[in-house]
Amino acid sequence: MSGVPVFPQVLQSQRAAGTLFNTYTTAKSVINATELQTLPANYLTVGSKIRTRVWGGLSNIVTTPGTVTFQLMMGSIVAWTSGAIQMSTTAHTLIPFTLDITNRVDSIGAGTAAKLIGGGTLNGIMFTVGAGADSTTVVGSFPVPATAPAVGTGFDSTIANILDFWVGFSISNAGNGVQIYDIDHEQKMF
């Protein structure tokens, strides 16, 4: 099929539902530790792509639910971020969401030379453009990030890096939580 990207190498796939994480703000890993994938030193090449597909459940509180941020990590470096996404003022308990991200390796190298650039689509009824309740006619589907594409924070591709997925909330509350049911990282090499 000409023109259809093929991602032949699965880098990481979660085989069991993850833990429910709530009552925190600083972003942290939300996938099973046994599923983390270490990319070897000098593994990435300029132009290769990493596609991340996430299926999870998100809970949020009614009054001032705040925002949620999704991050693709290379070790402890935020290589890609969705930016802060507003959550609905309708309370939810582990309502399903999906997130599809494609990142292209923009540059490689030591220190902070390696960078990704990418974007994706976030789907779920609990996400809103501005503060408000769930839409009664449409499911929220948003491009992420909601800004012009930009390269992420630089990382060192000449060393081994753990490919990870983190989530953070702006408000710490037992009712704001996330559980990842499935995640796949796939790579298209050139």
CA–CA gap between residue 78 and residue 190 (Å, rounded): 24
CA–CA gap between residue 17 and residue 6 (Å, rounded): 26
What is the amino acid identity at position 4? V
Tens-place pLDDT, residues 13-69: 777 888 999 999 999 999 999 889 899 999 999 999 999 999 999 999 998 899 999
Q: pTM for this structure?
A: 0.89
Tens-place pLDDT, residues 78-126: 999 999 999 988 899 999 999 999 999 999 999 999 999 999 999 998 8
CA–CA gap between residue 144 and residue 60 (Å, rounded): 19
Spell out the domain ranges in the chain: 9-188
